[in-house]
């Protein structure tokens, strides 16, 4: 009897996903992931031995109940945020906004501008044809215009216009799509074996929405994402898994 070769594993690598059922869909990288895990849960049926005292099992049967994946993603790109919130993304071009109207302003209140302003560029606030200076009246921030509680040159319910430069960016509209299916490929490297390849292919999976999105924290943000692995009926043939395939280059020391 020959001894098995010891194969130690410390994993690094890239995770790629591709939307299923969409012609021409690209297999794209998710970005930096600090964890990728797969879990298998089983359902167990047990037949107790009632023929004698002391208990014990007469028989048992186990079946696979579910297969899941979990990832810790530190790339909070618009695409990943959309994936984690079942949303969609759209690009916004930079623009010059002239005389954006805001009626019946409230004092001591934020006015949300229609676009994200460039706070380093010139912002002009007017009441009618009169330019209202920032000092003592208003401040600009990333979300819009803060009106002072007791401004020198503005009154409650005044009508104003705001001219500013809008930044280019991306918009994620959360909870706007159905639960779509993906294929996942992990292009892994085994650091314990000089970076030899370990490739994991998940044929079919559905992501769950992220349980939380932490927008205030002391550490780098993480998207904790989970997914259910589903049987892929298109995988046919004796001995082939409908769920997941693991390919390892020779890991011999």
Q: How far apart are CA 89 and CA 8, in angstroms?
A: 41
Q: Of 167, 197, 227, at which residue does a domain stop?
A: 167
Q: Return the bridge partners of 183, or none.
A: 18
- Shared domain for 155 and 40, answered yes or no, is no
Burial class (CB in 10 A: 0-12, 13-18, 19+), 167: middle
In a domain, 5, yes or no: no
Q: Do residues 199 and 188 make contact, with C-beta atoms less than 8 angstroms apart?
A: yes
Q: How far apart are CA 119 and CA 121, in angstroms?
A: 6
What is the pTM (predicted TM-score) of this model?
0.85
User: In this predicted model, which residue has the larger pLDDT, 22 or 139?
Assistant: 139
Q: Do residues 163 and 152 make contact, with C-beta atoms less than 8 angstroms apart?
A: no
Write out the two tokens for 98: 């002239």
Q: Do residues 85 and 210 make contact, with C-beta atoms less than 8 angstroms apart?
A: yes
Residue 236: the pLDDT is 94
- Alpha helices by DSSP H, listed for the chain, are 78-85
The total of other beta-carbon atoms located within 10 Å of residue 213's CB is 15
Residue 30 sits at the vertex; the CA angle it makes with 248 and 35, to the nearest 5 degrees, is 60
> Quick one: how far is CA 13 from the chain centroid?
18
- Shared domain for 78 and 18, answered yes or no, is yes
- Shared domain for 81 and 15, answered yes or no, is yes
In a domain, 231, yes or no: yes
| Interval 42-80: pLDDT, tens | 999 999 999 988 889 999 999 989 999 999 999 999 999
Average pLDDT, whole number, for the chain? Answer: 94
Average pLDDT over residues 133-159: 97
| Interval 22-48: pLDDT, tens | 888 999 999 999 999 999 999 999 999
In a domain, 81, yes or no: yes
Residue 2: the pLDDT is 62
Write out the two tokens for 6: 């010891």
Place of tokens 């330019």: 131
- Shared domain for 29 and 83, answered yes or no, is yes
- Shared domain for 102 and 218, answered yes or no, is no
With cut-offs at 50, 70 and 90, classify the pLDDT of residue 253.
low
The parent domain of residue 24 ranges over 11-89+173-248
Phi, psi of 84 (to 5 degrees): -80, -15
Q: How far apart are CA 135 and CA 184, in angstroms?
A: 54
- Shared domain for 73 and 182, answered yes or no, is yes
Query: What DSSP state is assigned to residue 117?
Result: B
């Amino acid at each position: 009897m020959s001894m098995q070769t010891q194969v130690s594993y410390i994993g690094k690598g890239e995770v790629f996903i591709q939307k299923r059922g969409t012609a021409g869909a690209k297999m794209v990288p998710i970005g930096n992931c600090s964890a990728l895990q797969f879990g298998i849960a089983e359902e167990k049926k047990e037949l107790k031995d009632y023929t004698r005292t002391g208990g014990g099992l007469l028989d048992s049967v186990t079946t696979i109940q579910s297969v899941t994946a979990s990832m810790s993603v530190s790339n909070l790109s618009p695409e990943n945020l959309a994936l984690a919130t079942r949303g969609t993304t759209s690009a916004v071009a930079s623009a010059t906004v002239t005389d954006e109207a805001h009626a019946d302003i409230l004092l001591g209140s934020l006015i949300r501008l229609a676009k994200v302003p460039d706070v380093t560029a010139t912002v002009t606030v007017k009441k009618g044809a009169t330019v209202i200076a920032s000092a003592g009246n208003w401040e600009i921030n990333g979300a819009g215009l803060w009106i002072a509680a007791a401004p020198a040159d503005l009154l409650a319910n005044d009508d104003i216009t705001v001219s500013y430069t809008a930044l280019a960016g991306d918009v994620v509209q959360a909870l706007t799509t159905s639960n779509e299916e993906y294929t996942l490929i992990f292009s892994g490297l085994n650091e314990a074996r000089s970076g030899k390849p370990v490739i994991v292919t998940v044929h079919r999976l559905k992501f769950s929405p992220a349980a939380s999105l932490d927008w205030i924290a002391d550490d780098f943000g993480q998207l904790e994402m989970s997914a259910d692995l589903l049987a892929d009926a298109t995988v046919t043939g004796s001995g082939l898994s409908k769920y997941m395939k693991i390919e390892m280059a020779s890991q011999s020391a």
